Amino acid sequence: MDKLVYTAATGLRAHMAAQAAIANNMANGSTTGFRADRVVFDRIELKGGGAQIAARMPSAEEVTDADRTAGAIQQTGRPLDVAVAGDAWIAVQAADGQEAYTRRGDLEIAPSGVLQTGDGHIVMGQSGPITLPPASSVSIGADGSITIVPQGADASQTQIVDKLKLASAKGTDTVKGLDNLLYVRGGGTLPEDLDARVQGGALEGSNVNMTQALVDMIENQRSYEVTANLMKSAKDMDESSTSLLRLPS
């Protein structure tokens, strides 16, 4: 069988994976702080016998990173909503307990008093997860400091209870996980960025460009169809070659 069919098969698999990534981006077009996946196609180079094989190379698809472009800022007026400025990220606790990072700033207080993001990840402070005591009001400053007015206290009796851990991912080796959180590649944590700032009463939206995502999906679908036709062509050539080898009856 012509090796073209194997080359086409890897192309189909790559396009299917790319379609899934594009669909995921479109599904999260309105998710707070979402970063779109970037899909890159590449060819797999086969080397052997002292020469590089340059024809009919299989293709590979990989989600190499997330688009780090900031999303649009929307004013909400809600005290616990924060939009992170620049390259900073909010440190949170991932499902497996390790520290991860998010741009999702729709914070809320759980019944237990733990501060968490809108998707349930515990927010990290100066010395671990942030837990707030009962308070009549809570506000977050530009540097991430959390100020409360204790229950029963006068409005002027404010108290700083903790500070969001804000870390900069600029120049670091980080990777986006399947849970939309940013991780340090190979494990570890990012140092706190003391110059990082947040904007209170606002949220950063998704950075997915829906128009571009739709164009990417159509182009990927057409490429899939072209690759599928290659498999059909390989089948036709194989049948033609086989018919030449048949002995006359």
**pLDDT digits over 156-194, tens only?**
889 999 999 999 888 888 988 888 899 998 888 999 999
Q: What pLDDT, on a 0 to 100 scale, did the predictor assign at position 61?
A: 44
Q: What pLDDT, on a 0 to 100 scale, did the predictor assign at position 247?
A: 56
- Mean pLDDT for all residues in the chain: 84
Contacts of 219 (CB under 8 A, 6+ apart): none
Mean pLDDT of 89-96: 95
**pLDDT digits over 93-132, tens only?**
999 999 999 999 999 999 999 999 999 999 999 889 999 9
Q: What pLDDT, on a 0 to 100 scale, did the predictor assign at position 122?
A: 97
User: Is the pLDDT assigned to residue 249 strictly greater than 70?
Assistant: no
**pLDDT digits over 208-235, tens only?**
999 999 998 999 888 888 888 877 776 6
pTM of the predicted structure, to 2 decimals: 0.77
